[in-house]
């Protein structure tokens, strides 16, 4: 499977896991806690596979950067957490940084 597809699935698994972690109420609710652990296992396994095909720094920048943005959006949509202007600007800068790395950098290979 293409590394970018695996990376996308890994990011999605991390977002699901982090959302479940929030819902687990400090790992006191069984099923959200189980989902969090399984989600993180899938996320780390897939990101480790992607690192066989892409530079570690690029993989981690994309994985963590997009994960931050998506988790912030999930927190806003599902948990009513507020996003003020500096948070939105910061997230736009993260996305911009990921785009610069992917579109302009020659370090995407390993």
Domain assignment present for 28:
yes
Q: What pLDDT is recorded for position 87?
A: 94
- Residue-wise over 21-47: b if at least 16 C-beta within 10 A, else e? bbebeeeeeeebbebbeebbebbeebb
Q: What domain range is 92 assigned to?
A: 3-104
Number of folded domains that form the chain: 1
Structural domain contains residue 8: yes
In a domain, 92, yes or no: yes
Per the domain annotation, does 110 fall within a domain?
no
Q: What is the pTM of this model?
A: 0.89
Residues 42-91 have pLDDT tens digits of: 999 999 999 999 989 889 999 999 999 999 999 999 989 999 999 999 99
Question: Is 8 a residue whose pLDDT tops 60?
Answer: yes
Helix, strand, coil % over all residues of the chain, rounded to 5: 80, 0, 20
Q: Does residue 83 fall inside a structural domain?
A: yes
Q: Does some domain include residue 109? A: no
Non-local CB neighbours of 11 within 8 Å, separated by 6+ positions: 43, 62, 63, 66, 67, 70
């Amino acid at each position: 499977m293409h590394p970018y597809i695996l990376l996308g699935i890994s990011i999605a698994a991390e977002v699901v896991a982090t959302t479940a972690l929030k819902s687990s109420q400090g790992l006191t609710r069984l099923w959200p806690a189980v989902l969090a652990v399984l989600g993180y296992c899938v996320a780390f396994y897939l990101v480790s596979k992607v690192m066989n095909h892409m530079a570690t720094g690029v993989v981690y920048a994309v994985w963590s950067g997009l994960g931050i943005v998506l988790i912030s959006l999930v927190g806003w949509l599902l948990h009513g957490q507020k996003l003020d202007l500096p948070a939105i600007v910061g997230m736009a800068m993260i996305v911009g940084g990921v785009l610069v790395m992917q579109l302009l950098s020659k370090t995407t290979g390993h």
